[in-house]
Amino acid sequence: MKEQLKNIRGSITAPCGFRAAGVFCDIKRLGTGKGSNKGAKRDLALIVSEVPATVAGMFTTNQVCAAPVKLCAERVKKGTAQAIVAYSGNADACTGAQGLRDALAMTQLAAKELHLPAAHVLVGSTGRIGMSLPMTNVKRGIAEAASMLGQAPEHAAAVAEAIMTSDTQPKQIAVEFELSGRTVRIGGVCKGAGMIQPGLSGTRARPPAAPNARPPRGPHATMLCFLTTDAAIEAGTLQAALQEAVANSFNRITVDGDMSTNDTVLALANGLAGNRRLRAMSRNASVAGADLARFQSALNQVAVELAQMIVRDGEGVSRFVTVRVAGAKTFADADAAARAVANSALVKTSWHGGDPNWGRIIGALGYSPAKVVEEKVDIGYSAPGSRQVLYSLQRGQASQATFKALCAAVDAKEFDLHINLNLGNASARIYAADLTEAYVDFNKGDVSDPASLGG
């Protein structure tokens, strides 16, 4: 499918019929009386479809979750939405009944400005936990954003900027492809940086844990992702497609192993591309099947590219490592092994130092819940996506590769770590990052400034 997919300019306003705006209404400063949003010139955004759209959503499985997550998880079930309010600097998490009232009020304010039913407005938030929202500012911000909506790439870029917290750069993408002769577009923006190991679910019910899978852990800065498409797609089908895309992207990343209270992925599909409406069990199954596969493939690629941007721009990150585990007995084992390695403080610091130490890696595999047999383990490195693997360990024995060659393999800013447990056929990958002094320095906070202390 990839050859039919074209990257295009812009992001969430690239699909037909979407407008957006990002403004600054000083949500963080007024919430605490001092400080200002780090690195973000804007802090509130609106994304609006010209017509009602089908909607799908995936939300953090953290038992402690933000008011906007609770509100969206309910609204998304109806299958229709038309606008999203997103803001940064305040998580609206652990804010009790007032937090829920504020989230609701926000959708009402946006609905009034946009002349929509409030039930068709969704909210996404990121920032400090346990702080009440400066609703006067939010109201001003929503009104201002509603008056500035536009379709140009700059409008979408303003949204990408408004949701940033500790991100050093905005994250956005748009692609174009054909569905039975019609041009369809998908656009997306996201943010991340820290408190990143999402475990997203479409239901907010915690998925039953695989018998020996480590529980998902995750973000403080939160990951937010908003996807738009002009494809015509039935809501249940969109939800299933989003679920698959997230399972292979946002649910496969870790920056620091912490799972946020606010992680949210929302997708709006307004149908303005005029393609034959996609649905999973169409009467004309073969055509719809091919179209749906094409849409799924495009959505997967958009999601995985956005997810990787989050890891590359993680707090203090200096190296991006794709941990590829193969030969596990089960997917749960492969996943658990990959996460144990990707979240080991010792493995992560060794990556930072460019140290090809396999002892820490096999140690992490050994304490993971995955079945591991020392004498069967292969460990090696390659350039991203390459199959030319330089092994440091083969069947539990140090390989003949020189220390110099191994150092060169892990000296790259991006590389793949290949682990084969040689026990079965299951595999899993995790997009991971190193652990640096910069991460510690950034997150130890500045106690002279309560506003700097992330949620």
Catalytic residues: 222
Contact yes or no for 325/365 (Cβ under 8 A): no
Query: Which among 62, 345, 311 is positioned nearest to 191, based on CA atoms?
Result: 311
Shortest distance in whole angstroms from residue 436 CB to its own copies: 6
Q: Of the two residues 16 and 332, which places its CB atom closer to its own copies in the complex?
A: 332
- Residue 64 in the binding site for its own copies (CB under 8 A): yes
Identified binder of its own copies from the candidate list 73, 129, 267, 409, rule CB under 8 A: 129
- Residue 249 in the binding site for its own copies (CB under 8 A): no
Identified binder of its own copies from the candidate list 50, 74, 154, 441, rule CB under 8 A: 441
Query: Which among 430, 374, 363 is positioned nearest to 213, based on CA atoms?
Result: 430
Pairing between strand 264-269 and 224-229?
Answer: parallel
Give the interface segment with its own copies, choosing from 49-57, 125-133, 134-142, 282-290 (CB under 8 A): 125-133
Buried b (16+ CB within 10 A) or exposed e, 136-147: ebbbbbbbbbbe
Query: Which among 366, 385, 386, 388 is positioned nearest to 377, based on CA atoms?
Result: 366
- Residue 98 in the binding site for its own copies (CB under 8 A): no
Determine the Cα–Cα distance for residues 99 and 31; give it in Å rounded to an integer: 13
Shortest distance in whole angstroms from residue 287 CB to its own copies: 43
Looking at 377-451, which runs of residues are DSSP E strands? 378-382, 390-394, 397-398, 414-420, 426-433
Shortest distance in whole angstroms from residue 423 CB to its own copies: 11
Determine the Cα–Cα distance for residues 87 and 194; give it in Å rounded to an integer: 17
- Binding residues with its own copies: total (CB under 8 A): 79
Determine the Cα–Cα distance for residues 426 and 237; give it in Å rounded to an integer: 27
Identified binder of its own copies from the candidate list 93, 116, 245, 326, rule CB under 8 A: 93
Report the sign of the C-alpha dihedral through residues 437, 439, 443, 448, in that order.
positive
Q: Of the two residues 117 and 396, which places its CB atom closer to its own copies in the complex?
A: 396
Identified binder of its own copies from the candidate list 108, 183, 357, 422, rule CB under 8 A: 357
- Residue 349 in the binding site for its own copies (CB under 8 A): yes
- Residue 126 in the binding site for its own copies (CB under 8 A): no
- Residue 62 in the binding site for its own copies (CB under 8 A): yes
Report the site for its own copies in 328-347 (rule: CB under 8 A). 340, 343-346
Identified binder of its own copies from the candidate list 51, 152, 209, 290, rule CB under 8 A: 209
- Residue 50 in the binding site for its own copies (CB under 8 A): no
